[in-house]
Amino acid sequence: MSLLSFLLGEKKKTASVAKERLQIILAHERSGRNPGLSPDYLPALQRDLIAVISKYVKIDPAHLKVDIQKQDNFEVLEVKIELPDAR
């Protein structure tokens, strides 16, 4: 079935494409970054997240924060979004 999907050019879901792009960005940044330095892609990532989330929910850009933290041997991408109250 996957061969048929490949031949017919089935489009990937937006979420899976976004996930793949994020994984590529993170892998690229990890390979060329000095430890302890803040990644330079975080502001662009934050703008992209605001744009995507704003399509579905009206949010204040000041209420979205993107950060990377080191925990043990892992780097954790932390995204904090304050959503408005549902009315």
pLDDT band at 70 (very low <50, low <70, confident <90, very high): confident
18 or 36: whose pLDDT is higher?
Answer: 18
What integer is the mean pLDDT of 14-23? Answer: 80
Q: What is the number of residues in the chain?
A: 87
Residue 80's pLDDT is 87
Residue type, 18: A
Give Cα 62 distance to the centre of its chain. Answer: 17
The continuous run of DSSP H or E covering 71 comes out as strand 64-71
What residues contact residue 70 under an 8 Å CB cut-off, 6+ apart?
A: 35, 76
Residue 72's pLDDT is 81
Backbone angles phi, psi at 29, to 5 degrees: -70, -35
Bridge partners, residue 70, by sequence: 75
